[in-house]
Amino acid sequence: MPRHFHDAEELLPPATLTRRALSIIYDGLISIAVLLVTSWVYTMAAGAMTGWDEYQRKAEAGELGGSPGLTFMSFLVLYLFFAYFWTRIGQTLGMQVWRVRIENLDGTPVSWTQALLRYVTASAVVFLALLGGYYLGVVTLLISIPAIFALFTPINGLSVTDRVSGSVVVQVPKPEKR
Protein backbone atom coordinates (compact mmCIF):
# COMPACT_ATOMS: atom_id res chain seq x y z
CA MET A 1 0.00 0.00 0.00
CA PRO A 2 1.47 3.38 -0.99
CA ARG A 3 2.41 5.89 1.65
CA HIS A 4 0.22 9.02 1.94
CA PHE A 5 1.38 12.48 2.91
CA HIS A 6 -2.11 13.23 4.26
CA ASP A 7 -5.59 11.73 4.28
CA ALA A 8 -6.94 11.15 0.78
CA GLU A 9 -10.06 13.16 1.66
CA GLU A 10 -8.00 16.17 2.73
CA LEU A 11 -7.40 18.54 -0.17
CA LEU A 12 -4.48 20.90 0.23
CA PRO A 13 -4.59 24.23 -1.63
CA PRO A 14 -2.43 24.63 -4.72
CA ALA A 15 0.87 26.40 -4.13
CA THR A 16 0.92 30.06 -5.08
CA LEU A 17 3.09 31.38 -7.88
CA THR A 18 5.19 33.28 -5.33
CA ARG A 19 5.96 30.17 -3.28
CA ARG A 20 6.73 28.18 -6.43
CA ALA A 21 9.05 30.89 -7.75
CA LEU A 22 10.89 31.30 -4.45
CA SER A 23 11.40 27.55 -4.11
CA ILE A 24 12.68 27.41 -7.71
CA ILE A 25 15.19 30.16 -6.96
CA TYR A 26 16.29 28.43 -3.75
CA ASP A 27 16.66 25.07 -5.53
CA GLY A 28 18.45 26.81 -8.41
CA LEU A 29 21.16 27.96 -6.02
CA ILE A 30 21.48 24.44 -4.61
CA SER A 31 21.62 23.09 -8.19
CA ILE A 32 24.60 25.33 -8.91
CA ALA A 33 26.47 23.72 -6.01
CA VAL A 34 25.50 20.24 -7.22
CA LEU A 35 26.70 21.09 -10.74
CA LEU A 36 30.00 22.46 -9.41
CA VAL A 37 30.67 19.17 -7.62
CA THR A 38 29.58 17.18 -10.70
CA SER A 39 31.91 19.22 -12.93
CA TRP A 40 34.79 18.75 -10.51
CA VAL A 41 34.29 14.96 -10.37
CA TYR A 42 33.99 14.79 -14.18
CA THR A 43 37.14 16.90 -14.63
CA MET A 44 39.10 14.73 -12.19
CA ALA A 45 37.96 11.55 -13.98
CA ALA A 46 38.70 12.99 -17.45
CA GLY A 47 42.14 14.20 -16.31
CA ALA A 48 42.99 10.83 -14.78
CA MET A 49 41.87 8.91 -17.89
CA THR A 50 43.57 11.25 -20.37
CA GLY A 51 46.68 11.83 -18.33
CA TRP A 52 47.20 15.07 -16.44
CA ASP A 53 49.89 16.46 -18.75
CA GLU A 54 47.80 15.81 -21.87
CA TYR A 55 44.67 17.17 -20.18
CA GLN A 56 46.50 20.35 -19.14
CA ARG A 57 47.89 20.75 -22.67
CA LYS A 58 44.37 20.43 -24.14
CA ALA A 59 42.97 22.87 -21.60
CA GLU A 60 45.64 25.48 -22.35
CA ALA A 61 45.17 25.02 -26.11
CA GLY A 62 41.39 25.50 -25.78
CA GLU A 63 40.64 22.00 -27.07
CA LEU A 64 38.28 21.14 -24.20
CA GLY A 65 35.21 22.84 -25.62
CA GLY A 66 31.69 21.70 -24.84
CA SER A 67 31.69 18.16 -23.55
CA PRO A 68 28.64 15.99 -24.32
CA GLY A 69 29.71 13.68 -21.50
CA LEU A 70 29.67 16.49 -18.96
CA THR A 71 26.33 17.75 -20.28
CA PHE A 72 24.80 14.29 -19.95
CA MET A 73 26.26 13.78 -16.47
CA SER A 74 24.99 17.17 -15.32
CA PHE A 75 21.49 16.45 -16.67
CA LEU A 76 21.47 13.00 -15.06
CA VAL A 77 22.79 14.15 -11.68
CA LEU A 78 20.26 16.99 -11.46
CA TYR A 79 17.44 14.60 -12.40
CA LEU A 80 18.54 12.15 -9.70
CA PHE A 81 18.79 14.99 -7.18
CA PHE A 82 15.29 16.31 -7.85
CA ALA A 83 13.64 12.92 -8.38
CA TYR A 84 15.07 11.52 -5.15
CA PHE A 85 13.47 14.27 -3.10
CA TRP A 86 10.21 14.31 -5.10
CA THR A 87 9.69 10.56 -4.84
CA ARG A 88 10.68 10.25 -1.17
CA ILE A 89 9.22 13.23 0.66
CA GLY A 90 7.69 15.25 -2.19
CA GLN A 91 9.90 18.23 -1.41
CA THR A 92 13.32 19.44 -2.41
CA LEU A 93 15.23 21.57 0.07
CA GLY A 94 13.83 24.79 -1.39
CA MET A 95 10.32 23.39 -1.35
CA GLN A 96 10.71 22.49 2.34
CA VAL A 97 11.68 26.06 3.17
CA TRP A 98 8.70 27.53 1.29
CA ARG A 99 6.30 24.75 2.40
CA VAL A 100 5.25 23.39 -0.98
CA ARG A 101 5.14 19.74 -2.02
CA ILE A 102 4.69 17.70 -5.19
CA GLU A 103 2.21 14.85 -4.84
CA ASN A 104 -0.45 12.91 -6.66
CA LEU A 105 -4.09 13.91 -6.31
CA ASP A 106 -4.64 11.20 -3.68
CA GLY A 107 -1.76 12.47 -1.51
CA THR A 108 0.80 9.81 -2.48
CA PRO A 109 4.37 10.57 -3.61
CA VAL A 110 5.06 10.83 -7.33
CA SER A 111 6.80 7.95 -9.11
CA TRP A 112 10.23 8.10 -10.73
CA THR A 113 8.49 8.20 -14.12
CA GLN A 114 6.39 11.18 -13.08
CA ALA A 115 9.51 12.89 -11.75
CA LEU A 116 11.24 12.25 -15.09
CA LEU A 117 8.31 13.70 -17.06
CA ARG A 118 8.26 16.75 -14.79
CA TYR A 119 12.04 17.27 -15.03
CA VAL A 120 12.25 16.79 -18.81
CA THR A 121 9.30 19.12 -19.46
CA ALA A 122 10.78 21.90 -17.32
CA SER A 123 14.25 21.38 -18.80
CA ALA A 124 12.96 21.46 -22.38
CA VAL A 125 11.07 24.73 -21.98
CA VAL A 126 13.93 26.46 -20.17
CA PHE A 127 16.46 25.12 -22.72
CA LEU A 128 14.42 26.27 -25.72
CA ALA A 129 13.83 29.70 -24.20
CA LEU A 130 17.53 30.18 -23.42
CA LEU A 131 18.60 28.78 -26.80
CA GLY A 132 16.25 31.16 -28.58
CA GLY A 133 17.63 34.06 -26.55
CA TYR A 134 21.22 33.05 -27.32
CA TYR A 135 20.77 32.66 -31.08
CA LEU A 136 18.14 35.28 -31.76
CA GLY A 137 19.18 37.97 -29.32
CA VAL A 138 18.05 39.62 -26.15
CA VAL A 139 14.67 40.62 -27.60
CA THR A 140 13.76 36.98 -28.17
CA LEU A 141 14.94 36.08 -24.69
CA LEU A 142 12.67 38.77 -23.26
CA ILE A 143 9.80 37.43 -25.35
CA SER A 144 10.52 33.87 -24.17
CA ILE A 145 10.41 34.81 -20.47
CA PRO A 146 6.60 34.53 -20.50
CA ALA A 147 7.01 31.00 -21.89
CA ILE A 148 9.19 30.11 -18.91
CA PHE A 149 6.68 31.78 -16.59
CA ALA A 150 3.83 29.84 -18.21
CA LEU A 151 5.70 26.63 -17.49
CA PHE A 152 5.53 27.21 -13.75
CA THR A 153 2.47 29.46 -13.47
CA PRO A 154 -0.53 27.48 -12.37
CA ILE A 155 -3.76 27.79 -14.35
CA ASN A 156 -6.63 26.37 -12.32
CA GLY A 157 -3.98 25.23 -9.85
CA LEU A 158 -1.96 23.22 -12.42
CA SER A 159 1.18 24.24 -14.27
CA VAL A 160 2.39 22.63 -17.50
CA THR A 161 4.73 20.35 -15.55
CA ASP A 162 1.83 19.35 -13.28
CA ARG A 163 -0.32 18.38 -16.25
CA VAL A 164 2.40 16.46 -18.06
CA SER A 165 3.42 14.51 -14.94
CA GLY A 166 -0.10 14.02 -13.56
CA SER A 167 0.83 15.55 -10.22
CA VAL A 168 0.09 18.72 -8.27
CA VAL A 169 2.13 21.22 -6.27
CA VAL A 170 0.35 21.97 -3.01
CA GLN A 171 0.93 24.33 -0.13
CA VAL A 172 1.83 22.43 3.02
CA PRO A 173 0.13 23.74 6.17
CA LYS A 174 2.22 25.09 9.02
CA PRO A 175 3.04 22.42 11.59
CA GLU A 176 0.99 22.63 14.76
CA LYS A 177 2.87 24.06 17.73
CA ARG A 178 3.11 21.84 20.75
Q: Model-level pTM?
A: 0.81
Residue 175 has pLDDT above 90, yes or no: no
Measure the N-to-C terminal CA separation of the chain; round to a whole number of Å.
30
The predicted pLDDT at position 111 comes to 95
Comparing 7 with 158, which gets the higher pLDDT? 158
Average pLDDT estimate for 105-130? 87
- Write out pLDDT tens, residues 5-57: 766 667 788 888 888 888 988 999 999 999 999 999 998 998 898 898 888 88
Instruction: Extract long-range pairs of 9-16: CB within 8 Å, 24+ residues apart.
Output: 10/107, 12/101, 12/170, 12/171, 12/172, 12/173, 13/170, 13/171, 14/154, 14/157, 14/158, 14/168, 14/169, 14/170, 14/171, 15/100, 15/154, 15/169, 15/170, 15/171, 16/171
The number of angstroms, rounded, from the C-alpha of 165 to the middle of its chain's C-alpha atoms is 13
The string of pLDDT tens digits covering residues 65-97 is 778 888 899 999 999 999 999 999 999 999 999
pLDDT computed for residue 68 by the predictor = 85
Arithmetic mean of pLDDT, 104-125: 90
